[in-house]
Structure 1
Amino acid sequence: MITSPEELPPVSRTAVGVAALRALESQRPDRLFEDSYAGAFSVAGRAVLGDGDRLEGGLGEVFAEQVAVRTRFFDEYVRGSRQVVLLAAGLDARAFRLEWPDGARVFELDLPDVLRFKDEVLAELGAEPKCERIEVPADLTQDWVTKLREAGFDASRPTTWLAEGLLVYLGREAAEGLLARVTELSVPGSRVSFEHRPEGERDGLLQRARRVGGPVTELWRGGLGAEAPQWLAERGWQSEMVTVRDLAAGYGREVRDETTGGFLVATKR
């Protein structure tokens, strides 16, 4: 019996909606990626965003292109890495759908109920990871570092960290605490990436989402906001940003919103 998504906390339930959007993108003839597991997560999660027609006018329509570009970009970001930590891994299936180098280890951190739900869906599909996948049940607002170390994380090796769709749900203090722990665990050459919106709440995508409204937008706390690059620089990271608009153009897509948002990729010096 698959765990009901209603048993998951509100922020974690948003992962079901993102899976629905990944499933829709995977059906397009011009898809930016292929996620053969997303549809099963969407169905098991009772497809909380509905089908393509029902997405019209809702948050699904607002975020569909953003999620497509984000997934493709982060796929490319982690590809080739040998030690990866997915912070709030959610229903991402990169350990199963991407090709990994020999010896690659992917640590998936998330709440126990999220990982349990994910495992039950994957087990029904008979899915097998293409790397060493290591689950770390943990609350990222508490002591997740000890659990990560106990799971076999090697802090002496360069690490690729990914905080996909996470920081916006954290307040400033929690976001700083999370990234401070990442900094402490990162040797030179390690990388970290997450979404970044220099204009904050004035960003076109966020403004359109706020107009649509709904429980997802009510969960947003802003993370580090526009100061993220400076915060990282002060702690030994060299960061660069790529915009969703530029990425979409390179992928042959258009972005509707007047947005300067995109993704930071920072390397530990």
Structure 2
Amino acid sequence: MTESLPAVSRTAVGVAALRAYESSRPDRLFDDPYAAAFAAAGHPALPATGRGDAQARLGMLFYPQVVIRTRFFDDYLLGSGCPQVVLLAAGLDARAFRLAWPPGTRVFEIDLPEVLAFKDEVLAAHGASPACERVVVPADLRGNWAKAVRDAGFDPAVPTAWLAEGLLIYLAREDAERLLTAVRELSAPGSRIAFEHRPGTPPESLIARARATEGGEPVTALWRGGLGGRAPEWLAAHGWEPSTVTRAELAARYGRPSDDDATAGGFVTAVL
């Protein structure tokens, strides 16, 4: 099953391993009881250069960012007040199972068929039950995914919380704009969206350090840049009201020491 995972989706296995480690800590910022199972089942899919010492170095590099973003996006989704949630490129995210969703919440998970099949196989093996109404939508986000999610029961008249976690950097700018334009067209007033925001790539940025780290090439070669540092401006020009927060601010809020500063990037959220 792991052999069928596309290269870009295999990065989710590494992220699952980091979430599993965080979940084992007594001072954890979140608890993902399925992350370790995803990491174990997906380990054979990791490229050879992503194992051993190189994998450990990459993990240490990405670990603080993954932990902060997981907690931030958890809080964003549960605090959105939206009865409808869409996880774009849901990957091995287990929020439909591990978060305390308000009654009546519907969570749509969109990703490639191979990814969702792998995910559901692991979840079924562990007897997982969703904590909300979970709707799986096999679709390529570069294709007509909007029709697929509507056919699956998505209601564009209902306020929706959209999440594009770890996604846009893998898309070229035109693909990112096309995706977000479709999101805008499907969004009712009161809808929200969130994703990572990187205002630049200074020499000490996470992106720059990952490119300079041994074993990072299989991951960094997949990056296409997304909207670059212009996400808030793009959102504002398309009717959203954006706001940003840095990882450094969140690290302080969560009580996690961090070497990040304001140039290190963070997250953008927006309301329609």
The range that moved more, 182-191 or 248-257, is 248-257
Q: What is the match of residue 264 of structure 1?
A: 268
Counterparts of residues 129-148 of structure 1 (less than 5 Å): 129-148=130-149
Amino acid at match of 2:100: E
- Is 1:185 aligned with 2:186? yes
Deviation at 1:205, TM superposition (A): 1.2
8 Å Cα contact 1:106-1:134 kept in structure 2: yes
Q: What is the match of residue 32 of structure 1?
A: 29
Listed one character per residue, the Cα deviations across residues 201-227 of structure 1 (whole Å, up to 9, x for unaligned) are: 656111111110320011100000111
Q: What is the match of residue 105 of structure 1?
A: 106
Q: What is the match of residue 233 of structure 1?
A: 236
Counterparts of 1:54 and 1:84 in 2: how far apart (Å)? 36
**Secondary structure of the residue that 1:85 maps to in structure 2?**
strand
**Secondary structure of the residue that 1:193 maps to in structure 2?**
strand
Q: Which consecutive residues of structure 2, in runs of 5 or more, have no partner in the other structure? A: none
Counterparts of 1:143 and 1:204 in 2: how far apart (Å)? 34
Amino acid at match of 1:27: S
Q: What is the match of residue 74 of structure 1?
A: 73
Counterparts of 2:254 and 2:51 in 1: how far apart (Å)? 26
Counterparts of 1:66 and 1:50 in 2: how far apart (Å)? 20
TM-score scaled by structure 1? Answer: 0.94
Aligned pair count reads 263
Counterparts of 1:167 and 1:126 in 2: how far apart (Å)? 32
Counterparts of residues 45-194 of structure 1 (less than 5 Å): 45-46=42-43, 48=46, 55-56=55-56, 58-80=57-79, 81-194=82-195
Amino acid at match of 1:32: L
Amino acid at match of 1:194: F
Q: What is the match of residue 243 of structure 1?
A: 246
Counterparts of 2:143 and 2:176 in 1: how far apart (Å)? 12
8 Å Cα contact 2:201-2:208 kept in structure 1: no
Deviation at 1:95, TM superposition (A): 0.4
Give aligned-pair identity as a percent: 62
The range that moved more, 123-132 or 77-86, is 77-86
TM-score scaled by structure 2? Answer: 0.93
The range that moved more, 258-267 or 132-141, is 258-267
**Secondary structure of the residue that 2:229 maps to in structure 1?**
helix
Deviation at 1:188, TM superposition (A): 1.3
